[in-house]
Chain A
Amino acid sequence: MSKAKLNRRKDQLFGYFGVFATVLGLVLLALFIFQIFSDGIGRLDLDFMKALPSRKWEKAGILPAWTGTLWIFVLTAVVVIPVGVGAGVYLEEYATKGRLSNLLEINISNLAGVPSIIYGIIGLQIFVRFMNLGGVLLAGAFTLALLILPIIIVATREAIKAVPKSIKQASYGLGATKWQTIWNQVLPIASANIITGVILALARAVGETAPLIVIGALAYVPFVAKSPMDEFTVLPMQIFNWVSRPQHGFLLNAAAAILILLLIVFLLNGLAVYLRNRSRKKFGM
């Protein structure tokens, strides 16, 4: 066999492997979604969305849970975006490169690998006990914001790095200050990638259970939270609670709740893709 032929064979084999890997992932996902769908779709109706939790599975609903998840999404976004983007801009544009910034960089990357329950323990001590917030929405949002902060900082930095130097130089050349350049040139161009990163991180946050259990999110909440200082539950808590119940009907409820959670995450991801494409077109990147 000639060397060229061998290389072609290798190429072919790797192609097959790629197809296999892709199909495997898709088949598993399809099986999972099919299972959840066939279990949950029968329970999914407007009453299920409007009802409070109940000991009777056929009467139980997820109103406090899905509204809690939306609250957590919005509050976490409000807390994490200014801090995360601010830190990213500082590290990329202002911080002098040196040992200190290297150390910061490594630590931020490491933080992204810390198990989420550890953030729950930090949240419990700092927000719930020390700041005396109690196990309320705001404490949950702060905790989840901490959890996804590293991801957003890294995403912001990568987005800013991708902005062409020529644009910044042109801006300086016209006499703009650093802040004017960042606000009027760098951030608009980087925004699509930043928002993509933010939304993917938030999608992760709304799927978290462990840190919220630790800070004291509840399992039975008979009301819709009206302010960030209200106690709350979220969809993953409700699902977790239902899958461990002995009655089979609760498993169907859990499947239906998973469908709603999937829908929320799917919409978020779709939004991220849309924003990215839109901005790419606009700035021709």
Chain B
Amino acid sequence: MKKLITIFVAILSISFMAMSCGDSENTGGGDAHATSSDKGSIGIDGSSTVFPITEAVAEEYRAVAKDVQVTVGVSGTGGGFKKFSRGETDISDASRPIKQKEIDACKENNISYLELSVAYDGLAVIANPQNDWLTDITVAELKKIWEPAAKGVVMNWNQIRPEWPAEKIELYGPGTASGTFDYFTEAICGESGACRADYNSSEDDNILVTGVAGNKYALGFFGLAYYSENQDKLKLVAVDGGNGAITPSLETVKDGSYAPLSRPLFIYVNSTAAAKAHVVNFVKYYIENAGAMATDVGYIPMKDDEYAAENAKFEEFLSSLSSPATAE
């Protein structure tokens, strides 16, 4: 018994040694380029769609202010707002604007905040490369395929356009818990969450990519970034929102012509947090670099003057705060 305990203690201490070792490597590699003496921590949570951008900004910010610890969670837009409205986080990532219910929750806890747009996300309608009949599709046709009433009724391609093949449409889309699903159903079917239930769904967009890539009669939708990374396996479909068929691209999403399947991504900043200098500097850095970071991780940057407008909005918000910004 004693020996066993000794062995166990030995294992524990080895683990701890390994940890403190990793620790020293971490702090040992101190950054020489630090340009800010800010100290403190910033808690961010929310949308997993916005996460890659926030992660990228936080990563770069380490070189700017090494004593500011930024942590980012992925509770989802709704989960993030829940924490935000309790004052548990400083910034919330969101792939849709805040809902009335969430606004009320913030009010109840005396949380005030500012909404900032940081980038665009395009939603791509995707077919298999062997699909030689589909090059463009109208929003009305997409609605006919995806609306709840289509379940068990609209099953074949030729039900959409008679010249299309009499083969079953294999549908692929994100699961109902994702913000992408909410946004697609709202844009196409007119109501968030209104969608047929008989389609192949997955929370992991890479599985959707594999599904569409492996089936000639497949049709799917997911984030544009997943198309960009798998162009050889997929076929991009142009969407006609009433002004002619538009193929999603950097330009068409940026200038807003790819409608209605492009959306802005947001961060929400807590006003109490915005009273702290290290948060203010981080948010300014975020707005300044969001475009470049968004491009890096596969999203679409806003125009320069739009970022300038967001920055002005933030400055105005800061000066409107009753308590002056204090350094920590």
User: B298 and A53: CB pair below 8 A?
Assistant: no
From the candidates A70, A187, A218, name the one contacting B71 in the complex (CB within 8 A). Answer: A218
User: Nearest CB to that of B29 among chain A residues?
Assistant: A50
Could you give 12 example pairs across A and B, Cβ below 8 Å?
A63-B26, A71-B19, A73-B15, A74-B15, A195-B4, A213-B74, A216-B75, A220-B70, A226-B23, A244-B203, A248-B229, A251-B206
User: In the complex, are the beta carbons of A275 and B16 less than 8 A apart?
Assistant: no
Give the interface segment out of B50-58, B136-144, B241-249.
B50-58
Neighbouring B residues of A134 by C-beta, 8 Å:
88
> Are B62 and A222 in touch, CB under 8 angstroms?
yes
Interface size band for B: 35 or more
Contact B71 A221 (CB under 8 A): yes
In the complex the two chains form, is B73's CB within 8 Å of A55's CB?
no
Nearest 4 CB-CB pairs, A to B?
A220-B72, A188-B1, A55-B56, A246-B225
Report which of A213, A231, A247, A275 forms a contact with B229, defined as CB distance below 8 A.
A247
**With A70-B15, A191-B4, A246-B206 as contacts: A222 and B45 at CB distance below 8 Å:** no
- Measuring CB to CB, which residues of chain A are less than 8 angstroms from any residue of chain B? 49-50, 52-56, 63, 66-67, 70-71, 73-74, 77, 134-135, 187-188, 191-192, 195, 213, 216-224, 226, 231, 241, 243-248, 251, 271, 275, 279
B227 CB to closest chain A CB (Å) equals 8
Residue of A nearest to B54 (CB): A220
Q: Using Cβ atoms and an 8 Å threshold, which residues of chain B touch A50?
A: 22, 25-26
Q: Contacts A63-B22, A216-B83, A247-B298 given; 16 further ones with Cβ under 8 A? A: A50-B25, A52-B59, A55-B296, A55-B297, A67-B22, A195-B4, A195-B8, A216-B75, A224-B22, A224-B26, A243-B204, A243-B206, A244-B205, A245-B52, A246-B205, A275-B7
B11 lies within 8 A of chain A by Cβ: yes
Asked if B12 lies at the interface with its beta carbon under 8 angstroms from chain A, I say: yes
CB distance from A197 to the nearest CB of B (A): 13
Provide the bound-state CA to CA distance between A79 and B15, in Å: 16
Chain A positions within 8 Å of B19 at CB level = 67, 70-71, 224
**In the complex, A207 Cα to B222 Cα: how many Å?**
29
